[in-house]
Amino acid sequence: MPEAVLSVSRQALVELRGVKKTFSTSRGELIACENINMTIEKGRSFGLVGESGSGKSTVMRVLQLLLPATEGQIWMNGVNVSGLPPRKLKSYRRNVQFVAQDPFGSLFPHFSVGKNIAEPLKIHKVGGKAEQLERTLDLMESVGLAPDLYSKFPHELSGGQQQRVAIARALALSPQLLVLDEAVASLDVSIQAQILNLLQEMKTRMGLTYAFVSHNLAAVRLLCEDIAVMYLGRIVEAGPSSEIFKNPSHPYTKALFQAIPAFIGDEVKPLPTTPIARRDRPSAINRPSGCAFHTRCPLATDVCKSVAPEWTELTPGHHVACHHADEAQRHL
C-alpha cells in the first residue's frame, strides 16, 4: 500500500510499515508476508481477510511483537516499538491483547473462571485483592457471564462461555487494541453469532479497537470499518470496508466474496471461469512472478506474468494492486 494510505490516518493507533517476515524452511526461504503497510486507527476496527496460508496470522504475530519482523517497523501512538528492548515493551504488551481461536487451549485449565480473568491484573499488579475481585466481576458482567460461574473451571463451561472468559481476560487491563485471530471460528454457528454480537456491542460501548482476522466475511463486514485483503503474503486490496464490499475491485477479492454465498449480491457477480478454490494454490516459497495471482486469475494477461502491479487509489482510501481492476469491476 502506498505511503498515502498512512498519511490519511490522523489517529493512527498501530501502524505497520514495510513489514516483511520470512521463515527458513527445509525447502528454502518462505516469505510469509511482505511489503505490509497498514494503519489501525483509534476506535475503528481493521479486518484482515484472505485464504488460509495468506499470511494473516503472521502479520498479527509481528504486530504483537511475538515474532520479530525480518524487515519493517511497528509503530504505536507515534512511537516505533519494533526497535525497543524487551524491558521497554511492557506498556505495548499491556495495550495490545489477544483472543485466540481455541478458547479452551488459551485458558489455564486448573484456574477457575475468576482466577483466569484476574490473572493479568495480578501479573501487572493492578489493585489489591478486593479491587481485583470487583474488576473481575465487572468484566464478567460486561461479557455476559453470570457471577455464579466465577468458581467454575474452564472444562465445565460451553465453548461460547470459554470464549467470553478469554475476552474478559483480554479486556482486564483495558487494552487499546484487541487482536482477534479467528476468534469465533471454532464455535458453533449460533454461538459465533452471539460472540460477534457481543464484540460489536462492546466495541460501541467501550470504544474498543479491534484487529480482526477471519475467513468469515460476514463477521468482518459486521465489525470492521477498514479491511485489507491478503494474497500469498501481500495486501492486494485495502480500504474502507463499506467501499470494498460495495465495489470489490481485485479479482481475488471478488473470488473470495463469491465463495461466500451471502455476499453474492447485485453488485458482486460470480467469476466467469473455474472458481479459484479449485485451482492449485502456489507456494509462498516459489511465489509466481509479476502479480502472484496470475496463475489463478481469469483476467491474467502477459503483463500480469512479468510486472508486479502498482497501487491505484480508486476512491479516497480504496486501493487496489491489479493491472486490470477496471475490467474486474466491470466483468467479474
Distances (CA, A) of 332 to 108, 159, 248, 320, 322: 48, 39, 10, 15, 14
- How many residues in the shown chain lie near ligand ADP by CB under 6 A? 13
Map grid coordinates 465495489 to a residue.
247
- Residues 131-190, interacting with Mg ion (CB under 5 A): none
CB neighbours of 201 closer than 8 A, spacing ≥ 6?
none
Burial annotation 311-325 (CB, 10 A radius, 16+ → b, else e) = beebeebbbbbbbbb
According to CB under 6 A, which one of 36, 220, 238, 284 is a site residue for ligand ADP?
284
List residues bridging with 320 in a β-sheet.
237, 312
The reply to whether 153 sits near ligand ADP by the rule CB under 6 A is no
101 lies in the site for Mg ion, by CB under 5 A: no
CA dihedral of 178, 211, 1, 232, whole degrees rounded to 10: 120
State the angle between helix axes of 159-171 and 189-206 in degrees (0 to 180), rounded to the nearest 10. 20
Rule CB under 6 A: say whether 32 interacts with ligand ADP. Answer: yes
Cβ atoms of 256 and 51 within 8 Å: the answer is yes
Kindly list the residues in this chain that would bind ligand SF4 in the complex (CB under 6 A). Answer: 250-251, 291, 293-294, 297, 299-300, 304, 309, 322-324
User: Strands across the sheet with 46-49, in order?
Assistant: 96-99, 177-181, 209-213, 46-49, 226-231, 234-240, 318-321, 311-315
Our finding on whether 22 is near ligand ADP (CB under 6 A) is no
Of 45, 54, 97, 216, the residue at the interface with ligand ADP (CB under 6 A) is: 54
| Grid coordinates belonging to 320 | 487496489
Q: Which three cell numbers stand for residue 106?
A: 488459551
| Contacting residues for 142 by C-beta, under 8 A, at least 6 apart | 168, 171, 202, 206
Q: How far is the CB of 304 from ligand SF4 (least distance, A)?
A: 3
Question: Which of 57, 161, 163, 329 contacts Mg ion by CB under 5 A?
Answer: 57
**69 lies in the binding site for ligand ADP (CB under 6 A):** no
Residue 56 lies near ligand ADP (rule: CB under 6 A): yes
Nearest-CA neighbor of 182 among 154, 207, 219?
A: 219
Cβ-closest position to Mg ion: 57
Minimum CB distance to Mg ion, residue 162 (Å): 20
Task: Tell whether residue 258 is a contact of Mg ion (CB under 5 A).
Answer: no
Residue among 23, 111, 150, 263 that touches ligand ADP (CB under 6 A): 23
Looking at 53-61, 154-162, 261-269, 316-324, which segment touches ligand ADP (CB under 6 A)?
Answer: 53-61
Contact partner, 25, from Mg ion, ligand SF4, ligand ADP, none, Cβ < 5-8 Å per class: ligand ADP
Number of residues that bind Mg ion (CB under 5 A): 1
Q: Which does 154 bind (CB under 5 to 8 A by kind): ligand SF4, Mg ion, ligand ADP, none?
A: none
Q: Whose Cβ is closer to ligand ADP: residue 172's or residue 255's? A: 255
Q: Which is nearer to ligand SF4, 44 or 294 (CB)?
A: 294
| Interatomic CA distance for residues 279 and 298, integer angstroms | 11
Least distance between ligand ADP and beta carbon 181 (Å)? 7
Q: For residue 235, which phi and psi values (nearest 5 degrees)?
A: -80, 130
Chain positions contacting ligand ADP, by CB under 6 A = 23, 25, 30, 32, 50, 52-58, 284
